[in-house]
Chain A
Amino acid sequence: MFNTGTIYSNFTPLVKSPVIGYRISGEDVLLILKKLTKRNFSEEHSIMKLVELHNIDGTILDKCNVVYFKSPNSFTGEDVCEIFIHGSPLIASQLEQLFKDFNISGLRLAQKGEFSFRSVLNNKYSLKQAKAINLIINNESFSSLEYNKKILFEGDPVSGLAPLREDIVNLFSEITASIDFVDDEEFNFKKIIKKARDFFNNCNKLLHKNRTKIEQKNICKIMLIGPVNVGKSTLFNKIIDKDRAIVTEIKGTTRDILSNQIIDDGKKFEIFDTAGQRSKQGRIEKFGYKKAQKLSKEIDHFFVLKDKNTNKADLKQLFKDFYINKNFTMLETKSDQFSYNSKNIKINHNLNREDLFKRINLSSIYKRYIAHKNHKLEFNSSEIEFLERILEYESDILNERDILIIAQLMRNILDDFSYEFGYINNEDVYDRVFSNFCIGK
């Protein structure tokens, strides 16, 4: 698909903007620079130069910054230069015309992905890193951005899935041995199935841990909980800056879950208002409360509201009812009406939004949440998809009694691993067989 030759392409959009960037990579970079700038860049590695770009007739096309990277110390590993012309699409088109007029054989517009591809070819990046670049550009979520950046900057870490590859080759080897070398060692079908089960459990665990994290993207979910009538809906309306929830003095006003997204300081939150807790709930109220309980599994942070009327037993019940750990902030409400002497954050409906936000400090909550997520995220989405594909075999394999069918299905898994993580052939399997088992007479 990709061939040799020197390639060029803009790396910023071709729209009116302060600058438009062009990148050139290949053998003829110095020649092109010479023609463009009448200067020799061969000793100017990695130094930004302000120069004039000349048309063939000697007139000046633009005066701009140019930087040259000498092979192999460049993005692609080849000679590379970057030209930052003024951000006019017209100048850009003139520059491209100029490249054509130079009439240098092999000089052409790059195809999509060709720069990264060359970097892989020249071992500047591993395939995985190149994938990571692509995923960064198509950034899917903050946490996976961080993960992909890590791959990009810290080199190709052994994939978190690499141990699984080991497991599957070992498992397949044992199955192979149990069929082809029955005579030589004792094999136990139940043990093999147990190992297969462990393997799939492992996949499931990894998948679960990572998938939920990625699906949520980088939205921090906060839920307001507390006894009835403490002012949850009042706070909810204030945070989202809309009159969405009904507020009355009647206990048990809110029955279903309400939710609303907000962006604060560039960060995304989803806020949930819930039915209040009390010992005697109505049928619908109870239903709503249960729903909130269930949803609380996926919540990153809780605001627990209480007021002077809240008793300890109610509060205790509340902590029992929700999936809540240390990820909560206790808020004491109606501080205009009641006076508290605890260290808890106090709020009331008279606070303006700005003051309220200072007190509840959303950005510190967000930080904690991101730190928590990054810690857990080990895979990018293509790896997640891969795990899902592997798990499609789980029930067929675990419910099968015929070891030959199991082996056949396992081979498909092996092929999938081959495809993602490099070739596994029969010889790799036999290597394992002959080193793990004493085979032959």
Chain B
Amino acid sequence: MEHYDVIVIGAGHAGLESANICEKYGLKTALISKNYSDLGKLSCNPSIGGVGKTHIASEVDILGGVICKIGDKSAIHYRVLNLSKGPAVWGVRAQIDRDLYAKNVQKYIKSSKIELIEDEAINILQTNKKIIGVECLYAGKIRSKVVILTTGTFLNGKIYFGNEVKEAGRIGNSSSKKLARFINKNFKTMRLKTGTPPRIYTQSIDYDILDPQPSENYGIFLSYFTKQNTNKNINCYITKTNNKTHKIIRDNLDKSAMYSGIIKSQGVRYCPSIEDKVTKFGDRNGHNIFLEPEGLNSDLVYPNGISNSLDKKIQLKFLRSIKGLEKCEVDQFGYAVEYDSVDPRELKNNFETKKIENFFLAGQINGTTGYEEAAGQGIYAGIHAVIKMKKVKFDNKVFERDNSYIGVLVDDLTKLGVTEPYRMFTSRAENRLKLRTDNSYERFAININRKIFNKTDYNLIYKNIDNEKKIISKLESLKYSPNDLMKKKIKVKKDGKIRNGFEVLKFLDPTTNNFKKFFNITINQKLLTKIYFDSKYEVFYERERKSYDQLNKNKKMNLTNIDFNKIPSLSREILEKLNKYKPVNLHDAGKISGITPSALFQIIKHKRNKGTKVA
């Protein structure tokens, strides 16, 4: 019988990242996938990135992940969202050629030492609550020290078109019922749902009457390492629903799986179906639909914005009421999928289950949604499997919620659990100004390891870091009095304070020309933008460092005499938990699931104010 260090079940975005990172760190790794063709499949929209999502993806990238690199290789259209705002919230989004992506993934796996097993996992093997392997439908029992489970929407998956129901993990894939039995027996699970729109034939769309949305290639890519995108770039198009569309949908809500009451599980508020939009925002004259081509050689289009679970006939009818789609033909109708996912509070902070040692879960199975969210968890679980197996040194501080989006995700999931599929938003991060895509290499620098990068990539990171260091130290050696600055037409307070170049940078218009003129230093625009915002946000970083220090300093703060009921700002759940577990100090309180950093600050604040507040 084969013996592996780690077996990853599922080759979606979570599974790929897990397997990849384990293999790079030198673990003997197997990847089980039901079908070879599932490798690198994008179950839903053909795009990667966006605000919040790019943020996670860029962290995966710098940790040695594949999603961004393969994404760029397969991209056929780019956009950068939020360009008018600071880089902390820039969101690159790439339209992906589905086939190209799958091919690139397959090529990559083949070139790696990952052993691919085409089979269905039907059981997890354990003795004394510790992993010993996996049982497969055909291959039987396979031994391993660690199992990472990343089966996405497949556990007891059911798909719905109107009143029609099928058992499936997604269209074209059978659901995993046997494995679901194991999971449901051992863990607390819940039922969640999501949906997808129909796919339309390109030739049946009248593009001539629609507004094109050209690709905007600013040289900002998904991956830190991508220098250019050589694929042909193509347009997306925009159209809109109208009152006629809305009426068709409204009149047929009883033929929608989600509205007729067949599906009871919790869907996502931020990925509303078109049924939701029409019901909740019926006063609008129209909702945008983005027509996204599925690939350079694909004859299909993904109409983003109209995910639904209506009866197939109704789908066709409402589609044909839309401008440009009057004569459209559908390849694959939209549907809703309902599936079991595990309550992520079953996980320890390293994504290992609390109940079974060396059993890790990652991806949509933990109650999230989205490729990037899955990838982030995949690499996180993988790294922690490596840490456990090989005891490699890894600075876990980067995975605290102050330091990365992956940290925010892990903290939210394991401490708060989920009530609906969890998606990343930048506003979930208290420390948003710091968690930028343009500085992830800096945040993760301590963990950048020769093992996981090829020579070119590794050198690139260090060349850039060195260059930045040089420029910063030059800037810091330049000194300006308020008078000097006045002469250069920069308005500052006449406080007599001498400022160094780095502190002055935030007052400039950040163009390379200006920079050269002012400091006599040559710089590239990318780096300039980064350090300009570093200079601008420095006060906030400082504040954040202080509050972090404060938390740290107060770790031993005695809480045995404190009465939590007297802190009005604590939510009821948090209060209940504090009263139940009675932490002896702040550090202990922070470890309780559901206790947020902000709650900890409230406690500190309360302790300090005690006496001046209320009876």
Contacts and interface: CB of A to CB of B under 8 A. Distances in A.
A2 B614 contact: no
A98 interface: no
A357 to B, nearest CB: 42
B305 A130 contact: no
A428 B305 CA distance: 25
Contact of B614 (A113, A180, A408): A113
16 contacts: A127-B568, A176-B425, A179-B82, A181-B51, A182-B51, A183-B51, A404-B89, A404-B433, A405-B537, A415-B598, A419-B605, A422-B569, A423-B569, A430-B269, A430-B425, A438-B287
A182 B81 contact: yes
Given A1-B563, A176-B427, A423-B574, 4 more contacts: A183-B50, A404-B88, A419-B605, A421-B568
Interface string A403-441: 111011001000100111111011001100011001111
Interface of A: 1-2, 112-113, 116-117, 121, 127, 130-131, 133-134, 176, 179-183, 402-405, 407-408, 411, 415, 418-423, 425-426, 429-430, 434-435, 438-441
B1 interface: no
A420 B271 contact: no
B308 to A, nearest CB: 12
Nearest to A428: B571
Given A1-B563, A408-B540, A179 B51 contact: yes
Nearest to A412: B543
Given A1-B566, A441-B271, A441-B307, A180 B52 contact: yes
A140 B91 CA distance: 54
B536 A402 contact: yes
Interface stretch (B228-236, B277-285, B373-381, B497-505): B277-285
B218 interface: no
A179 B561 contact: no
Contacts of B50: 183
B178 interface: no
Contacts of A419: 568-569, 602, 605
B428 interface: yes
Kindly list the 10 A-B residue pairs having the minimum CB-CB distance in the complex, ordered from nearest: A113-B615, A116-B615, A423-B571, A440-B270, A1-B563, A419-B569, A434-B269, A438-B281, A180-B425, A418-B569
B562 A1 contact: yes
Nearest to A414: B598
B150 interface: no
B290 interface: yes
A423 B570 contact: yes
Contact of A130 (B432, B574, B601, B614): B614
Contacts of A113: 614-615
Interface string B470-504: 00000000000000000000000000000000000
A441 B566 contact: no
Contacts of B272: 438-440
Given A438-B284, A438-B287, A117 B566 contact: yes
A133 B614 CA distance: 9
Interface residues of B, number: 52
Contacts of A408: 432-433, 540
B568 A422 contact: yes
Given A180-B426, A429-B427, A407 B432 contact: yes
A439 B82 CA distance: 16
A402 B268 CA distance: 30
A418 B567 CA distance: 10
B552 interface: no
B85 A403 contact: yes
**Among B81, B281, B307, B569, residue most surrounded by chain A Cβ atoms (within 10 Å):** B569
B565 A121 contact: yes
B270 A439 contact: yes
A134 to B, nearest CB: 5
Given A415-B598, A419-B605, A180 B51 contact: yes
A128 to B, nearest CB: 9
A435 B432 CA distance: 24
A441 B571 contact: no
Contacts of B428: 426
Contacts of B568: 127, 419-422
A2 B284 CA distance: 55
Nearest to B430: A411
Chain B interface main SS type: loop
Contact of A179 (B45, B89, B277, B601): B89
Interface in B584-615: 596, 598, 601-602, 605, 614-615
Interface in B509-530: none
B353 interface: no
Interface string B253-297: 000000000000000111110000100110010010010000000
A426 B422 CA distance: 13
A127 B537 CA distance: 38
Contact of A183 (B81, B88, B598): B81
Nearest to A117: B615
B174 interface: no
Contacts of B214: none
B123 interface: no
A431 B302 CA distance: 28
B304 interface: yes
Contacts of A423: 569-571, 574
Contacts of B569: 415, 418-420, 422-423
Interface in B413-453: 425-428, 430, 432-433
A179 B596 CA distance: 23
B86 interface: yes
A117 B564 CA distance: 12
A415 B562 CA distance: 21
A418 B86 contact: no
Interface string B548-585: 00000000000001110110111100100000000000
**Among B88, B269, B425, B615, residue most surrounded by chain A Cβ atoms (within 10 Å):** B615
A108 to B, nearest CB: 15
B104 to A, nearest CB: 25
B417 to A, nearest CB: 12
A131 B605 CA distance: 18
Contacts of B561: 1
A1 B598 CA distance: 22
Interface string B443-465: 00000000000000000000000
Contacts of B426: 179-180
Contacts of B268: 440
Given A418-B569, A420-B568, A441-B307, A404 B425 contact: no
B430 A127 contact: no
B85 to A, nearest CB: 6
Nearest to B268: A440
Contacts of B614: 113, 127, 130-131, 134
Given A423-B569, A438-B287, A402 B430 contact: no
A434 to B, nearest CB: 4
A131 B82 contact: no
Contacts of B51: 179-183
Contacts of A404: 85-86, 88-89, 432-433
Nearest to B574: A423
A415 B569 CA distance: 8
Contacts of A405: 433, 537, 540
A315 to B, nearest CB: 51
Nearest to B606: A419
Nearest to A1: B563
**Among A180, A418, A422, residue most surrounded by chain B Cβ atoms (within 10 Å):** A180
A441 B52 contact: no
Nearest to A137: B615
A422 B91 CA distance: 33
A180 B432 CA distance: 12
A121 B615 CA distance: 12
Given A404-B433, A425-B571, A438 B280 contact: yes
